[in-house]
Amino acid sequence: MRNEPSRTAEAVCLFRASDQRRPQEARIVDDPYARYFLSLPFRAALTALEVTGRLGELAEEYSPGLIAYVLARHRFIDDAMVAALSQGRAEQVVVLGAGYDTRAQRFADLLGRRKVFELDFPSTSRRKAQIMEDKVDSFPQANLQRVEIDFLEQKIEDVLDAAGFERGAPTFFIWEGVSMYLTRAAVKSTLGTIRGLGGPGSELAMDFWYLLDDHSLLAAAHRAGASLLHLLGEPITFGIHPEDVDTFLDRIGFELLECVEARELEARYVKDDRSIYPGIFLVRARPIAELG
């Protein structure tokens, strides 16, 4: 719903905030800023989770592994961005569909003066900006460029140019939790735009959704999860299997660097008995210098 702040973005923020109740060594993501962006109902849900743990149990019952997946997805992209910045492979960062992303704050020291461009619909972007203004002393200084965009009506390259984006510079692009809500044509168009914006050394980290092709109870729960998102006003409309993503990206002009599914995410990031939601996977890719 374009005229209202995204509810799924706030739900994702709740998941990140919920991990703070765990010992630091058990956290998948360490995000002390996420709780600031929760509205009253979501703050109440966080309190219930912290006091009883019951909310987490309910979430696991209806969408097994979803919270752990969202956290591992965030951590995977965190790690990829940190590597790119540390190795001098990124001079700027672009977050498409930023929601309540806090990487500009959590990695402020590493980013230094590098610009972080956060693109989102005005309703979500303005709510986030107002909260940060109201709680300015709670956030570290960051070179954050807030970019309002109606993805259905405006071109990404136009709004980025107006915000001071440097075309052709090595850029780390983040596209998290968005592709599954678009049409296939829109996903291909956006990826084509990304490919044309970043210079040599640029990198993309993003996730994809696919339906489990079996008849187990877990697969049924996965399909029910898609229906739940439809009721929230943000239906699942695009999916692709990990076996097909290499070819899909290659045709658009990207080289697949890494494709990571649930089992590997669990091995990397989960230090307790949590499991990660199957049916969604993450990729790192870089633009191919010359298309044949």
Task: Give domain status of residue 1, yes or no.
Answer: no
pLDDT of residue 264: 97
The rounded distance, in Å, linking the Cα atoms of 193 and 206 is 15
Task: Give domain status of residue 111, yes or no.
Answer: yes
Cα distances from 23 to residues 6, 70, 79, 228, 283, in angstroms, run: 29, 18, 20, 31, 29
pLDDT of residue 28: 96
- Which pLDDT tens digit goes with each residue over 35-66? 999 999 989 888 877 666 555 555 555 456 88
The rounded distance, in Å, linking the Cα atoms of 158 and 88 is 26
If one compares 110 and 289, the residue with the highest pLDDT of the two is 110
Band of the pLDDT at 252, cuts 50, 70, 90?
A: very high
pLDDT of residue 66: 84
If one compares 166 and 291, the residue with the highest pLDDT of the two is 166
Nearest to residue 259, comparing CAs of 248, 270, 250, 246? 246
- Which pLDDT tens digit goes with each residue over 148-175? 999 889 999 999 999 999 999 999 999 9
Task: Give domain status of residue 2, yes or no.
Answer: no
pLDDT of residue 101: 98
Backbone angles phi and psi of 284, in degrees to 5: -115, 135
Task: Please answer whether residues 183 and 154 qualify as being in contact, where contact means their C-beta atoms are separated by less than 8 angstroms.
Answer: no
pTM: 0.90
Report the number of distinct structural domains present in the chain: 1
pLDDT of residue 236: 78
Q: What is the DSSP string of 223-292?
A: HHHHHHHHHTT--------HHHHHHHHHHHTEEEEEEE-HHHHHHHH--SS----TTEEEEEEEE-SS--
Tell me the average pLDDT across 176-198. 93
The rounded distance, in Å, linking the Cα atoms of 159 and 143 is 17
Which region holds residue 170: left if phi is over 0, alpha if psi is between -120 and 50, else beta? beta
* Angle at which helices 7-18 and 66-86 cross, to 10°: 80
Percentage of the chain surpassing pLDDT 90?
70
- The mean predicted confidence, pLDDT, of the chain is 88
The rounded distance, in Å, linking the Cα atoms of 9 and 85 is 25
- Which pLDDT tens digit goes with each residue over 224-248? 554 444 434 457 789 999 999 999 9
Nearest to residue 172, comparing CAs of 139, 198, 209, 140? 198
Neighbours of 196 (CB within 10 A): 13
pLDDT of residue 172: 98
Q: Retrieve residue 16's tokens.
A: 């990140």
Task: Give domain status of residue 136, yes or no.
Answer: yes
Task: Give domain status of residue 292, yes or no.
Answer: no
The domain containing residue 97 runs over which residues?
7-287
Q: Retrieve residue 63's tokens.
A: 């969408």
Band of the pLDDT at 24, cuts 50, 70, 90?
A: very high
| CATH, residue 151 | 3.40.50.150
Task: Please answer whether residues 268 and 59 qualify as being in contact, where contact means their C-beta atoms are separated by less than 8 angstroms.
Answer: no
Q: Retrieve residue 130's tokens.
A: 């107002």
Tell me the average pLDDT across 244-270. 97
Burial string for 57-93 (b: 16+ CB within 10 Å, else e) reads eebbeebbbbbbbbbbbbbbbbebbbebbeeebbbbb
Tell me the average pLDDT across 266-273. 94
